[in-house]
Homo-oligomer: A and B are copies of this chain.
Amino acid sequence: MFSKETYAIRRKILKEKIQNGLILLPGNKAMPFNYGSNTFPFRQDSTFIYYIGVDQPDLFAIIDVDSGEEYLFGSNATPDDIIWTGLTPTVEQLAQSSGITHSGEPSNIADIISQAVKQKRKIHYINPYQPQISLMLANLLGINVNQLAQNQSLALIHAVAEMRKIKEPQEIAEIDRTARTTAIMEQFIIDTATDPACRESEKSIRAGLYRIFMKEGFFYSFPPIVTTHGEIFHQPEASKERLKPGSILLADIGAESDSHYAGDMTRSIPVGGKFTPQQKDVYDIVLNAQKTVFNTAHPGETWLNVHLTAARVITEGLKNLGLLTGSTDDIIKEGAYALFFPHGIGHLLGLDVHDMENLGEDNFGYNQNTPRSTQFGLCNLRYALELKENMTLTNEPGIYFIPYLMEKWKAEKRFAEFINYDKALTYSNFGGIRIEDDIVITQSGCRILGMEVKKEF
């Protein structure tokens, strides 16, 4: 938790931006594992963390923009609770730790909200992603759960996104810290997998990561991906088989600090230590694309342009390998390159690994002048607008050979003028390569967060 002044100042700025009405900031609840009282580790809502900072379940903050008053609601421990969980701070103490004057029982929430509803005051909230919170909020507002999305406050979303997307120095320090732990995790994987005598499996290597981040009291920012099937982006499985020399181990992993900032890093590692010439050719294209992003990202540039610049490097590289052919401009414009690079070049990073995804990326990552593309691949870019100093993002180009997709497009004769399908299909067992680091936009460019981890093999 930062100083209580930090949260007070953030709320003050938020009030100035919102101007009037009532802001509801429900904290998260613990989520059931296999029954109500056996829960997953508690994860506080990121917007709640940002404005309130208190890392405990079942809290509810209200900011009255008109009166300026701030409230934190929650239940104090009962004698029985104290026996089972020990002495814990009161809600009043929690409120004080965040610089909030008023605190009270959750039963008071309904009164404040129903009064505001009666007075037809504007009530600002963000559509919740935790279903318990949806139920509670719908009850409090006297509306149906299905109506929550349409009634959420775009003003609140815009204000929150505007603030959260530019990181304070203390936030950048936290992201640096979690990126460093992420780098240590990645280094452990590299050391293990490049050892010619390696006897480990994807599963055993992945298990080792838990020890590293848990030791610091950290968690992961997303479930770690450790796979020799890099062409499957969301591979939840890890094989128990011993890693085969000659394969590529893709490790896309991220620690989450105890302050809940995310790291996110990928290395594509030659099992046994050396790439084959074919692997090296593809790897070098991805590495070039990543270097280009480092050299291109700076305040004033748009992230969409950075994406397209990286796509150009990838396209040129694939043309050199004979996998693409024709005009680079046309390949980029039509999106033919996306067969091999079907995701965005990177995303905002912060209290969430895809920062503020729950606010709706179109609400802050795009605007009327720059609407989200509908093109395959480019439509997955999560942020397209201008880069500003102290924004934190990932830089993660990749090249993949997805047999299902190559066969589907070939059958559809899609971009047949640009794509050499016969050659591409000879890469069907190749897998995929991605190289990812975290960056912060500086005054004139960008710098890497955490620390450098080997990427030349």
Contacts from A to B (Cβ < 8 Å): 31-41, 43, 45-46, 79, 82-87, 129-132, 134-135, 145, 203-204, 206-208, 210-217, 222-223, 229, 232-236, 238, 240, 342, 351-354, 357-358, 402, 404-405, 408
- Distance, CA A212 to CA B357, complexed state (A): 33
- Copies of this chain, complex-wide, total 2
B211 adjacent to A358 (CB under 8 Å): no
A357 adjacent to B86 (CB under 8 Å): no
B38 adjacent to A354 (CB under 8 Å): yes
5 A/B residue pairs, CB under 8 Å, sorted by A = A34-B352, A83-B405, A85-B233, A203-B217, A210-B210
- Distance, CA A236 to CA B132, complexed state (A): 22
Nearest B-chain residue to A357, judged by Cβ: B35
- State whether A34 and B232 are in contact (beta carbons under 8 Å apart), knowing that A131-B131, A131-B132, A404-B87 are contacts in the complex: no
List residues of chain B with CB within 8 A of the CB of A212. 207
- Distance, CA A212 to CA B207, complexed state (A): 7
A37 adjacent to B357 (CB under 8 Å): yes
B35 adjacent to A40 (CB under 8 Å): no
Nearest B-chain residue to A81, judged by Cβ: B234
CB-contact partner of A34 in B45, B135, B342, under 8 A: B45
A357 adjacent to B84 (CB under 8 Å): no
- Distance, CA A232 to CA B243, complexed state (A): 43
Closest Cβ of chain B to A351, distance in Å, is 8
List residues of chain B with CB within 8 A of the CB of A38. 222, 352-354, 357
B203 adjacent to A207 (CB under 8 Å): no
A204 adjacent to B215 (CB under 8 Å): yes
List residues of chain B with CB within 8 A of the CB of A129. 32, 35-36
- Distance, CA A37 to CA B361, complexed state (A): 13
CB-contact partner of A358 in B36, B39, B87, B135, under 8 A: B36
- Contacts beyond the supplied A35-B129, A210-B211: 17 A-B pairs with Cβ under 8 Å: A31-B31, A31-B40, A32-B130, A37-B354, A38-B352, A39-B223, A83-B233, A85-B232, A86-B235, A130-B131, A131-B134, A135-B145, A206-B214, A207-B210, A207-B215, A211-B211, A217-B240
Which of A46, A84, A86, A232: most chain B CB closer than 10 A? A86
- Distance, CA A125 to CA B85, complexed state (A): 33
Nearest B-chain residue to A35, judged by Cβ: B358
- State whether A233 and B84 are in contact (beta carbons under 8 Å apart), knowing that A130-B32, A217-B203 are contacts in the complex: yes
Closest Cβ of chain B to A48, distance in Å, is 10
- Distance, CA A234 to CA B46, complexed state (A): 25
- State whether A35 and B354 are in contact (beta carbons under 8 Å apart), knowing that A83-B342, A135-B131 are contacts in the complex: yes
A408 adjacent to B79 (CB under 8 Å): yes
- State whether A203 and B210 are in contact (beta carbons under 8 Å apart), knowing that A129-B35, A135-B131, A357-B35 are contacts in the complex: no
- Distance, CA A46 to CA B35, complexed state (A): 9
- Distance, CA A210 to CA B212, complexed state (A): 10
- Distance, CA A72 to CA B333, complexed state (A): 44
Closest Cβ of chain B to A152, distance in Å, is 14
List residues of chain B with CB within 8 A of the CB of A31. 31-32, 40
Closest Cβ of chain B to A49, distance in Å, is 9
B43 adjacent to A33 (CB under 8 Å): yes
Closest Cβ of chain B to A72, distance in Å, is 20
B85 adjacent to A234 (CB under 8 Å): yes
Closest Cβ of chain B to A37, distance in Å, is 7
Nearest B-chain residue to A130, judged by Cβ: B32
B204 adjacent to A210 (CB under 8 Å): no
- Distance, CA A39 to CA B176, complexed state (A): 24
